[in-house]
Amino acid sequence: MDYFLTEEQQMIVDIARQIADDKIIPVRAELDEKEEFATEILNDIAQADLFGLYIPEEYGGFGGSCFEIVLALEQFGRGCVAIATSFAASALGAYPVLLSGSEEMKQKYMPDVASGKKKAAFALTEANAGSDASGIQTTAVLDGDEWVLNGTKQWITNAGKAQIYSVVAITDRSKGARGASMFVVEDTDPGFSCGPKEKKMGIRASATCELIFKNCRIPKDRLIGREGMGFITVMKTLDLSRPGIAILGVGLGQAALDEAVTYAKQRVQFGKPIISFQAIQHMLADMAIEVEAARALVYGAAKHIASHPKDMSKASSMCKVFATDMAMKVTTDAVQVLGGYGYMREYPVEKMMRDAKILQIYEGTNQIQRNVIGQELNKEYTKKI
């Protein structure tokens, strides 16, 4: 389907597609097998100017919106969700600074993020604070001209690979949700370190580790925005970033569909290509419908969010749930279409199925997204009635 992209948007798609086809797809299986971070490919993405897509021109970026980054992420997701996640997590780490940071802070950090010279990461989750962020234990205490951070963050994407970390810490526990703040921590700050690499089911070429803060001292001006604004910044960040996760589902679903149709045309059983069996045809048809429906919803939501409306959350959550549930189903069906060959690592669909699962979990589980959508509906209809 033609979505009538502008010439510039089409350029972004073309470049990202070429990176996926020429650089990512030939090595994705090997990187997955070796659980190796795709440093070179991220450098290729940087060289192609795509790290700056969503960053304003005054900070060295392209000045696009969350729709432009969605276009690039769709192609990367088609190539490999692990590599796409590493790319997306840098944006996730940069959004808090862009949304709530001071002018000086943006000047200081954004040009290097836009050029891809430095990567960012976003650190909210802890062992006892997953869906429920109120369980955060990490604290930040002002001591003279420095904040002192203590605590441990868990499962942080790009840990050890990023130079800039947007970290949530409690600054005043008595204030509840208004007692959390966000800080920029640099990889070289004293008292900061990363834990060992987690062993994961999928997206194995992405880096996921703990962040450990032991009397980690950072200058006072590393506070992002004002004290107590931490959760507000987190919510705004996730509203902006979720279409990016949603579109990874679309890219991944498309990749699985491509593999399944190609295979079904070639595989002969009972004297016929299996695509001639209606059971297979209907499965492929459903996959195609669902991928396209998800794409249309994510593009729509991303464009809505790019217009800076007040009501971002519902659209953001809806597209995340729909597209990532779709990716799980479509990749599972792709394995079914390929049968036993689909289950073998020799073919790419088993990795796609393993990679799909994370999309339903991170950046807020799909249950939590449904909670958000339900609450928003409740609010909307209270106003109407």
Compute the least distance from the CB of residue 20 to other proteins, in Å. 10
Q: What is the DSSP string of 5-21?
A: --HHHHHHHHHHHHIII
Compute the least distance from the CB of residue 44 to other proteins, in Å. 6
User: For other proteins, which is the closer residue by CB, 19 or 83?
Assistant: 19
Residue 308: count other Cβ atoms within 10 Å of its Cβ: 9
Spell out the residues 6+ positions from residue 31 whose beta carbon is closer than 8 angstroms to its own. 37, 38, 80, 82, 83, 204, 205
Distance between terminal CA atoms of the chain?
Answer: 38
Q: One symbol per residue from 48 to 87: x for binding other proteins (CB under 8 A), - otherwise; what is it?
A: xxx--x--------x-------------------------
Compute the least distance from the CB of residue 37 to ligand FAD, in Å. 13
Query: By C-alpha distance, which of 244, 227, 232 is closest to 96?
Result: 232
Considering CB distances under 5 to 8 angstroms, the limit depending on partner class, which of other proteins, ligand FAD, none binds residue 367?
Answer: ligand FAD
- H or E element that contains 219: strand 208-219
DSSP 129: B
User: For other proteins, which is the closer residue by CB, 47 or 269?
Assistant: 47
Q: Is 259 a catalytic residue?
A: no
Query: By C-alpha distance, which of 53, 56, 96, 104 is closest to 74?
Result: 53
Catalytic residue (one of 146, 259, 363, 380): 363
- Cβ-in-10-Å burial (0-12, 13-18, 19+) of 314 comes to buried
User: For other proteins, which is the closer residue by CB, 41 or 291?
Assistant: 41
Sheet strands (E) in 257-356: 268-269, 272-273
b/e per residue 277-305 (b: at least 16 CB within 10 A): eeebeebbeebbebbeebbebbbbbbbbb
User: For ligand FAD, which is the closer residue by CB, 158 or 171?
Assistant: 158
44 binds other proteins (CB under 8 A): yes
User: For ligand FAD, which is the closer residue by CB, 92 or 148?
Assistant: 92
Considering CB distances under 5 to 8 angstroms, the limit depending on partner class, which of ligand FAD, other proteins, none binds residue 125?
Answer: ligand FAD
CA 132 to CA 216: how far, in whole Å? 25
Query: Which residues in this chain contact ligand FAD in the complex, by CB under 6 A?
Result: 89, 122-125, 130-131, 155-157, 200, 203, 208, 358, 361-365, 367-368, 371
Compute the least distance from the CB of residue 370 to ligand FAD, in Å. 8
Considering CB distances under 5 to 8 angstroms, the limit depending on partner class, which of ligand FAD, other proteins, none binds residue 48?
Answer: other proteins
Active site residues: 363
Site residues (vs other proteins, CB under 8 A): 7-8, 11-12, 14-15, 18-19, 22-23, 44, 47-50, 53, 62
